[in-house]
Amino acid sequence: MKIAVAGTGYVGLVTGVCLAEHGHSVICVDIDEKKVSLMEAGISPIYEPGLEELMGKNMDKLSFTTKYIEAYKDADVIFIGVGTPEKQDGSANLSYVYGVAEQIARSIEKDCVVVVKSTVPIGTNDKIEDMIKYNLVHDVNVYVASNPEFLAQGTAVRDTLFPSRIVIGVEDPYAGVVLKEVYKEFDAPLMVTNRKSAEMIKYASNDFLALKISFINEIANLCEIIGADIEDVALGMGFDKRIGDRFLNAGIGYGGSCFPKDTKALHWLASFHDNELKTVKAAIDVNENQKLKLIKKSRNYFDSFNGLNVAVLGLTFKPGTDDLREAPSLVNIPIMLEDGANVKAWDPVGVENFKKKYPGEITYCNTIEDTIKDADVCFIFTEWDEVKDFDLSKYSELMKNPIILDGRNCYDLASVKKENMIYDSIGRETVNSLEVSMV
């Protein structure tokens, strides 16, 4: 079976590589020539644990190109994995997906199944099929199937090789048969439904997870006020199998390329049909506020950032990825800079991407030690292992004022209490062993 994949981002490239690992011959298409040259040389243009190694192992079954006609014309199956970013009004920008649909229509010379992996609003698969059929150049049959992707960045390779489930949405049974063949080597529950239900499964899943995070963040905020401890609360809740113990980590809010846009897109779609999704709206609102939680906390210690040395640990929206999309660092650091802070930042893989947005205003450091040296305050935005494993005594040793504002609850309070520092985290007691009075 000849498979083509449109888009070589976190979804497209990981899909292509994992399909090759399971024996398929895969041609990956991207419009970005730089990315294609890197991939041809066996280099992954994105950071994702294990991806480059798996790519290297399967280079005999993988090829990369910008020439979409060559890739699509005789493909049996074409996966669409291009971006669906958020538009100004919160709806999904489908121009990339529709762009690929037109390219497919102009290229294919034999019957093929077009598989939509991109997260698209309910009803989009129907439009894609209409668009392809309307623009076809050759007299061939096209079947469009929805096959939403559930991978998480940071564990994308594992999530794709061993998926929690494979959801296939089809209107014609033939497309279902072909996709079952594509996935026959994958050991995962596979369900077949209609296209709209498959599209909805993706949004409902992401929005539910976003809601779970916003819920625990609200509970954390209340814990701070009433003196409860969110870590214990989450632990106690998680024993209940109906609730589950995942996605109960309180913090400064979710980011990334999916939850923020997918909550807004579904809310927009519902509003379009005069139907408000009140719980999803609440998840969005809570998250927007939560991202500023540490800035608000910082006002307890100083009125302005002007002239302060600010250390930032973690720039990416979560560990295990170089992706900055909707990362809390992008909301918080501009506020500090505008206020006159001298910002030093550290991140194991996110610095190059951050430099594209802030090339000169920030000092980027190679070590946590250099970042916190002489700092007046340290913000933790990403729970990288290097941060979690960092020797706590070094904060008071190296910082001018050891005030740590931890947005990811990286340290247990018993260990913090042995150190000389002010440690303010999310949903937990503030530790102040410096005996410095707070404003």
**Minimum separation from the CB atom of position 397 to ligand NAD (A):** 38
Closest CA to 394 of 373, 365, 380, 415: 373
- Of positions 21, 48, 52, 149, contacts ligand NAD by CB under 6 A: 149
Identified catalytic residue from 18, 112, 223, 258: 258
Q: Tell me the H-state helices in 183-327.
A: 195-226, 230-238, 259-272, 278-290, 293-298
410 is catalytic: no
What is each CA distance from 345 to 83, 333, 337, 393, in whole angstroms? 29, 10, 12, 20
Considering the complex, state which of residue 72 and residue 423 has its C-beta at the smaller distance from ligand NAD.
72
Rg, C-alpha atoms of the chain: 24
Measured from the CB of residue 322, what is the shortest distance to ligand NAD in angstroms? 11
Residue 160 binds ligand NAD (CB under 6 A): no
345 phi, psi to nearest 5 deg: -135, 150
161 in contact with ligand NAD (CB under 6 A): no
DSSP string covering 351-411: HHHHHHH-SSSSEE-SSHHHHHTT-SEEEE-S--HHHHTS-THHHHHH-SS-EEEETT--S
Q: Which of 16, 81, 251, 260 binds ligand NAD (CB under 6 A)?
A: 81
- Which helix (DSSP H) or strand (DSSP E) does residue 56 occupy? helix 51-57
Nearer to ligand NAD, 11 or 210 (CB): 11
Q: Which of 16, 83, 320, 350 binds ligand NAD (CB under 6 A)?
A: 83
Binding of residue 328 to ligand NAD (CB under 6 A) = no
Tell me how far apart the alpha carbons of residues 315 and 369 are, in angstroms, rounded to a whole number: 16
Stretch binding ligand NAD (CB under 6 A), from 55-63, 93-101, 307-315, 427-435: 93-101
Q: Which stretch binds ligand NAD (CB under 6 A): 1-9, 54-62, 296-304, 386-394?
A: 1-9
- Indicate whether 30 belongs to the interface with ligand NAD (CB under 6 A): yes
> Quick check: 99 binds ligand NAD (CB under 6 A)?
yes
Report the residue closest to ligand NAD, judged by CB.
Answer: 9
Residue among 151, 168, 220, 378 that touches ligand NAD (CB under 6 A): 151
Q: How far apart are the two ends of the chain, measured CA to CA in Å?
A: 67
State which amino acid sits at residue 375: A
Instruction: Give the shortest CB-209-to-ligand NAD separation in angstroms.
Output: 12
Rule CB under 6 A: say whether 63 interacts with ligand NAD: no
Q: Applying CB under 6 A, does 29 fall inside the site for ligand NAD?
A: yes
CB 383 within 8 A of CB 406: no
As measured in angstroms, the least distance from the Cβ of 120 to ligand NAD is 7
In angstroms, give the least distance from the CB of 121 to ligand NAD.
Answer: 10
Which residues make beta-bridge pairs with 116? 80, 146
Bridge-partner residues for 262, per DSSP? none
CB of 73 to ligand NAD, least distance (A): 15
39, 13 contact by CB (below 8 A): yes
2 vs 25: CA distance, rounded Å = 6
Residues annotated as part of the active site: 258
Question: Which parts of this chain interact with ligand NAD (CB under 6 A)?
Answer: 6-12, 29-32, 35, 81-84, 96, 99-100, 103, 118-119, 149, 151, 153, 257-258
